[in-house]
Amino acid sequence: MPTIPSFITRYFAKDEPKPPPISTRTAILLLVIYTLIYVVPFYLSPTTRPSPTLSRDAPSVIRARIASVSLTCVVCTVITFLILTSQGQATPAEALHALGYWPVGLVETAKSLLLTAVLFTGPLYEYLVVDEQWRDLVALRPFAALSEWTTWRNIVAGPFTEEVLFRSAAIPLMLAARTSVTTTMFLSPLVFGLAHLHHFYEFRLSHPNVPAVAALMRSVLQLGYTTLFGAYATFLFLRSGSLLAVFVVHAFCNYLGLPRFWGRVYPAVVIGRGGEAWKPSIAWTIAYYILLVVGAVSWYRNLGALTDSSNALVDMKMS
């Protein structure tokens, strides 16, 4: 199995390190450009631009946008590949490793998904047990829902293209520029979070009666949790060297949504034959929040073990 790409090791070598092909400033500029050519085309064509009479959830809009971002991902990946391999800096195999395409990382994907599932112990309890959605999983209904364009966008196309652009095509540029791991983990996810701010405009179009302040607060919240997730996905990408791993984790998180941090958790109210309603026990809620904390603690304790891989892009010491 490959180790850390040798061209990255050469950049960070203490004895006469090889000059990087680009600077950190150039890498960040490219990431911003990548973001712009990912988002801006949405508003250049009437087929991808939402309006008061055309929702972003319309199948025609979704199809056109998927085609647009797919082309963007191909172009940006080629640009990054050419930069990595320019002037003999990296071999094609090393570049594909840095991009997360090879090795595929099936073991790393399973471990990353398990780690994330541990973090979501509380939400999984609510979804599978409280809401009894395990029945739908057994019947494979979530997979049948992928035939709907909105579900396909949210669970497959969106996560995949975002991980290709913001992790696979972007992170190797930061590493090749000899950017510190800390800066890479927190600066590139910020750009990822900012890339979602255009949803403010689209939300205002589809919800004109919602006050602008409320819509703005919604976008600020979205910026916060997308940036936080971006940092986590960057960490997983650096530790696993696998595009597949971060894509699967991204799809998993999109499917479950943002965890609940307040409010009661209870099953559907049961109505007896006489019409009386059985009030759900508060034990459901207590169990949820206990599992939420247990999941977070267990996730932290297993962060190093479940992300350890010989395919890692950088050497990150985990205590």
Number of alpha carbons in the 13 Å side-chain half-sphere of residue 170: 34
Catalytic entry in 94, 108, 126, 162: 162
Catalytic entry in 148, 196, 198, 199: 196
Contact 128, 288 (CB under 8 A): no
Whether 162 is a known active-site residue: answer yes
Q: Show the CA angle centred on residue 165, arms to residues 58 and 117, nearest 5°.
A: 80
Whether 148 is a known active-site residue: answer no
Q: At what angle do helices 212-240 and 181-194 cross, to 10 degrees?
A: 140
Active-site residues, by number, are 162, 196
